[in-house]
Structure 1
Amino acid sequence: MLPNAVEEDAAGSPSAPPSGVVGGMSFLDRFLPLWIGAAMAAGLLLGRSVSGLDDALDAIKVGEVSLPIALGLLFMMYPVLAKVRYDKLGSVTGDKRLLVSSIVLNWVLGPALMFALAWIFLPDHPEYRTGLIIVGLARCIAMVIIWNDLACGDREAAAVLVAINSVFQVIAFAALGWFYLEVLPSWLGLDTSALDVSAWDIGKSVLIFLGVPLLAGYLTRRFGERAKGRTWYEERFLPRIGPVALYGLLFTIVILFALQGDTITSQPGDVARIALPLLVYFALMWGGSFALGRGIGLPYDRSATLAFTAAGNNFELAIAVAIGVFGVTSGQALAGVVGPLIEVPVLVALVYVSLWGRKFFRPRTATPASER
């Protein structure tokens, strides 16, 4: 994918300007925004034209987990996680600036900012407002790895931050939902809306959507390298499975948009009202995090990782919670589905902004060949 499209010199600086990135991309990656837009359109068309499709898709479950969405996520996540050099993770956990910044951005500033924007832009729509707050609480664990990979971010750092967010979601999602939907509005004299969802339901979703592909990716690299060596694994095996991530992404987008296709196309005004605070949120979170990374001295790859993991949200989990608690046709579920409608094209655009911004960072020092 894109990280392999731009080679770096010995000092770690790009050997070609961002304008040369597109020319080095594969055909699939070069037109990624087009494929994503087509997937959104296909999902909306299916949801609008096929009567009862949303109910049929919602009924295909294993327990409370949507099987089509789970399959799409598994295929999307596995190739990306199989690329991670797990033997280098210690160098990430030792970067306290990165870890502390990510935790504060994801679990203090992110939810608080979404709460504020939801009340500012949707004071008269409690269902949409609640849905947006749930999106703000669902921190990135899935598609952000793809955006980070495309932006030439630090893959190992992204894996660690995703793992941290996963643990936090298992432990804190229900408590934070109660705080932001009931306690804080009450303190501020605002209307309250309770969120009743167990930590086990959240944990089960995280284990399925992240745990399974993470384990598969780790085992594939470990045994693949042991059997064939790192050169074969990274130069022969990974290029073969790489496109599967894009296919999984597009399939997941089609399914998510088919679930709410009729509502989205019949209520464009409501969709626009939900979209506006999301646009502000992504701009502030990504831009502020990217600038923070540079300000505290992080190199480009880790600044990009910090920015994308702070701005991205786990909309799959947000949609699952909204549907499970409020129903598939609820306003809360609609707000969750509008999330990727805005997030996907915005973060794809920010990939290009991020690559352009590499010139404002100092290059890394050369890495000894023995450590590569």
Structure 2
Amino acid sequence: MTRALEADDTSSAVAGRPAFRLGPLSTVRRPARVIVAIALAAALFLVFCLNVGRGDYPLSIPDVVQVLLGGGSRIERFVVMDLRLPRALTGVLVGAALAVSGALMQSITRNVLASPDILGITSGASVAAISLIVLSGTSTAVGVFATLGLTIAALVGGLLTAAAVYLLSWRGGVQGMRLVLVGIAVNAMMVALIGWMLVNADITDVTRAQLWLTGTLSGATWSQVWPVTAAVVVLGAASVGMSFRLTAMRLGPDTARSLGVNVQKSQAVLLVISVALAAIATSVAGPIGFVALAAPQIAVRLTRSAEPPLIASALTGALVVVGADLVARTVLPVELPVGIVTSVMGGPFLLYLLVRVNRKATI
């Protein structure tokens, strides 16, 4: 009997994943995720340096690294630190914020089609930002709204849109497909509202708004880097801190409750984090499409995990945005906004996800 129990203990230890403990904290070792994360970080660094180095004053990757480490000539430091680094860093941070936002939303709803741009969150943030651009000063209310700044305006717009989608989807709980359908309807209304504002706006404001709506990193400055940096650090750390609740919720509401997780409260907090990340990223660079949808699913396939991993998703999103910006600036005959490139890449990926979801539904 004792030998049988020892055999059972041994087999269970072999079958389970090895644990990693550091004081009161413990997690499961996942070597594949660590290897993929390191590979993504290395690829991101190379593409980042290549993006910083390309331009009218070309620099090699070693030259860029030397400047980043404090060396290089005066002109090289000016080109890298003042002209190109803010744009590249903004791309990294915006891509990471959008990807984590999409990963959280897809995990909460357990639906691969759930992302801020599909659910209308990005469009809601865009409505507030466009209001700030084209209507500022036309009334007292809008004038006060304008003083809050583009970041806060987009955050408020995204949160209000998310609340509307959440409440319209509520029927004793939030079901993934219902949330997606309501989000698509709300997104259509937000897009129509943006079109109405542009039709009635001054032509100069329309030009500014149209450039912003395509999603662009051009003209990024250090003042734009800090808000999204704070968002990624604070909200990203908060989402990692809630990873146990997120993992439990991925198993279903009943299992999560049996593990002591307050499902509705956790859903609300994680949705607020997701919306805040998407709204702040949108306020900085405009609505860059399909990154929040595609990056988490690419990370799932790279790590071979069941649900989007947060760190790998963030690195994938950053790599996609920086790579798309590099293509938009250097490969194409005319420089295009980065949002156009990501939309061209993301459209076919959305069709691929729709086909997969349809096949699973019919099996």
TM-score higher than 0.5: no
TM-score, normalised with respect to structure 1: 0.27
Q: Using structure 2 for the length normalisation, give the TM-score.
A: 0.28
Structure 1 or 2, whichever has the larger Rg, is 2
- Highest RCO, 1 vs 2 (Cα 8 Å, sep ≥ 6): 1
